[in-house]
Amino acid sequence: MPPRRATAPRWSASERGATALIALDWGTSSLRAFRLDDDGAVLERRETDRGILSVRNGNFAAVLLEVAGDWLRHDREPLLASGMIGSRQGWIEAPYVACPASIDQIAASLVPLPADAGVRGWIVPGVNCRRAGGEPDVMRGEETQILGVLGELPADVRSLCLPGTHSKWASLSDGRITEFSTWMTGEVFAVLAQHSILARTIEGNVFDAAAFDAGVARGREPLLRELFALRARGLFAEVAPQAAHSFLSGLLIGTECAAAGTAVGRVALVGSRRLTGLYARALEKFGVDTIVLTEDAAARGLYNLATRARRNEQ
Amino acid sequence: MPPRRATAPRWSASERGATALIALDWGTSSLRAFRLDDDGAVLERRETDRGILSVRNGNFAAVLLEVAGDWLRHDREPLLASGMIGSRQGWIEAPYVACPASIDQIAASLVPLPADAGVRGWIVPGVNCRRAGGEPDVMRGEETQILGVLGELPADVRSLCLPGTHSKWASLSDGRITEFSTWMTGEVFAVLAQHSILARTIEGNVFDAAAFDAGVARGREPLLRELFALRARGLFAEVAPQAAHSFLSGLLIGTECAAAGTAVGRVALVGSRRLTGLYARALEKFGVDTIVLTEDAAARGLYNLATRARRNEQ
């Protein structure tokens, strides 16, 4: 807790360090829970593998109690959850808000938890769009992370990249998410490294910067060809088995960045320190400037949404 | 057997229908065996799943006897085998011939089977190249198929495509394989359809021409993005689960053809009727003319190599 709180408590209705919001980033494979104070500061955080795929028989309430039951003891702290928890496979489906989507529209579309949940909680809707090319796209959770960093973006940054299993690239205008695209980079990496012939080329997963960069450098070439070329480089000992994991990572991230990162200006990277670092490194090779925002974007987005929803209610 | 043989036997040293060559197309997952007469006509053919991955403890001789032992009873018919049987994991390693590679160079580089094999046989070397971009590439088996169709190619065709798990695109000049590239299309299709989130979008594998064409039409777009777009189309019921297999197939084949099939003129497609048909359909969408050659290219290539090797010996 920051020292200023100890000397100048700002709480009126409740004790110092009181919970003002329980924020959940509840995805497919993980559940991250945050206890926030009235200013949005993170008082406590918990990271678990209780993603929605791990929840049996729709028993989300039980998992919530297991992970954050002690935070809920006063039964008055509101709870806000984003991510796949609002999908058809989640607790309750929260219909998508269509692009262009503003924080006001998203805040106005929160879906309350069922009455029998035993918690005063809401779920954040996902966002969908239809790109100029005609294809639909969807996000659940990333919209909340975007709302978490909106206030920190320099004025010239209108593009965000959220790397991950399914990376998102979003365009902003006037504080709205105007369009976005999803890239299956992380998942393609995982299935190829594990299930394709490239598994025989790869040994271990220690990061090798030179191999990563060599992979990135092939990012403008046709991916389906470059994948086999990595196999051939392995056969001719031009990429060591210990370097192949990083080469494949660089090739896939480079392929995404070369296509998605051009003509979008400076890009804000939002996500884990490790992944945003790799993307910043790849984008730099293609001459794209980045700023990296790694701190609790989901928790801050949930706080911003709760604040906005409360204000809208008044 | 063609009727002309019944009325006009052309055999001197041996009986009608005598075996002049046993030709093996021995790959990773299958072994196709052909009994050829002195003119290269296929007298008999056998298709098995005894690819080199199915052979335990290097016991290739036993598998050969199991599959074609009755053909070998005279112990004088020569045997020629191409494919992964000549790799490090095969019977005996046949070092690559470098591009530009001619039939004479390949015929001069046949590797005899070990003395204890009990068969008078040779293995065809693979071919390797280093492309203008600097990457190495390799083929084993496809060089033999190419040598099998060389004589049938119209003079204006200098590009071949051999679709498969790892598709090959080869350039020809003066009867030599000058350069080639490998595309991991078939394998990427298989691992994504089985192991990625797209498995949930796909139901069955009945061919749907409209869905295949719709996938091909996205072949110039970034693949990593289009893969997730298929998932999103599925979520919004814009691609039916029963059509998603064909859409994904079209997307991947279209991505390969859009990149590899441009600026190479008319393309000869060599391979199975099903795959060459799909590739011809995709290439047509990108304005590329094709001719399709599906008949026993490997057997014919092995025959051509044996003939050339015998002539060179004389």
- Percent pLDDT > 70 in chain B is 94
Whether pLDDT at A10 is above 70: no
Compute the distance between CA of residue A282 and CA of residue A277 in angstroms, rounded to an integer: 9
Whether pLDDT at B2 is above 60: no
Please tell me the pTM assigned to this model: 0.91
Residue A224 touches partner B, C-beta closer than 8 Å:
yes
> The tokens of A185 are what?
């980079």
Provide the pLDDT for residue B15: 53
Considering the domain A3-133+302-313, what is its CATH architecture? 2-Layer Sandwich (3.30)
Using DSSP's 3-state secondary structure scheme, residue B174 falls into coil
The DSSP code sequence of B123-145 is: E---EEEE-TTS-EEEESSHHHH
- Name the strand (E) or helix (H) holding B187: helix B185-195
Q: Where are the domains of chain A?
A: 3-133+302-313
Cβ A236–B181 below 8 Å, yes or no? no
Question: pLDDT category, B9, cuts 50, 70, 90?
Answer: very low
The residue-averaged pLDDT of A91-100 equals: 97
Of B138, B191, B232, the CB nearest to A195: B191
Cβ A228–B255 below 8 Å, yes or no? no
Whether pLDDT at B243 is above 70: yes
Residue A79's nearest CA partner among A89, A69, A87, A88 is A69
Whether pLDDT at A5 is above 50: no
Nearest CA distance, B258 vs chain A (angstrom):
10
- Among B223, B224, B262, most A C-beta atoms within 10 A, so best to mutate, is B224
Closest B-chain CA to A183? B225
Residue B181 touches partner A, C-beta closer than 8 Å:
yes
Cis bond before residue A114 (omega within 30° of 0): no
Whether the Cβ atoms of residue A158 and residue A171 lie closer than 8 Å to each other: yes
SS (H, E, C) B254-300: HHHHHHHCCCCCCEEEECCHHHHHHHHHHHHHCCCCEEEECCCHHHH
- For the stretch B179-202, pLDDT in tens is 999 999 999 999 999 999 999 999
Place of tokens 């006063």: A74
- For the stretch A182-219, pLDDT in tens is 999 999 999 999 999 999 999 999 999 999 999 999 99
Of A183, A225, A232, the CB nearest to B228: A183
Residue A53 touches partner B, C-beta closer than 8 Å:
no
Question: pLDDT category, B312, cuts 50, 70, 90?
Answer: confident
10 Å CB burial of residue A285 (0-12, 13-18, 19+) is: middle
In CATH, the number for domain B3-151+302-313 is 3.30.420.300
- Percent pLDDT > 90 in chain B is 84
Nearest CA distance, B303 vs chain A (angstrom):
29
Considering the domain B183-293, what is its CATH architecture? 2-Layer Sandwich (3.30)
Whether pLDDT at A286 is above 50: yes
Chain B partners within 8 Å of A166 (Cβ): 228
CA distances from A43 to A40, A81, A312 (A): 9, 17, 26
CA distances from B290 to A179, B180, B279, B280, B287 (A): 39, 18, 9, 6, 10
Global ipTM: 0.92
Provide the pLDDT for residue A76: 74
Cβ B138–A196 below 8 Å, yes or no? no
Closest B-chain CA to A232? B137
Whether the Cβ atoms of residue B96 and residue B128 lie closer than 8 Å to each other: yes
CA distances from A146 to A78, A293, A300, B88, B273 (A): 21, 10, 9, 51, 50
The residue-averaged pLDDT of B76-90 equals: 93
Cβ A136–B238 below 8 Å, yes or no? yes
Using DSSP's 3-state secondary structure scheme, residue A312 falls into helix
Nearest CA distance, B133 vs chain A (angstrom):
10
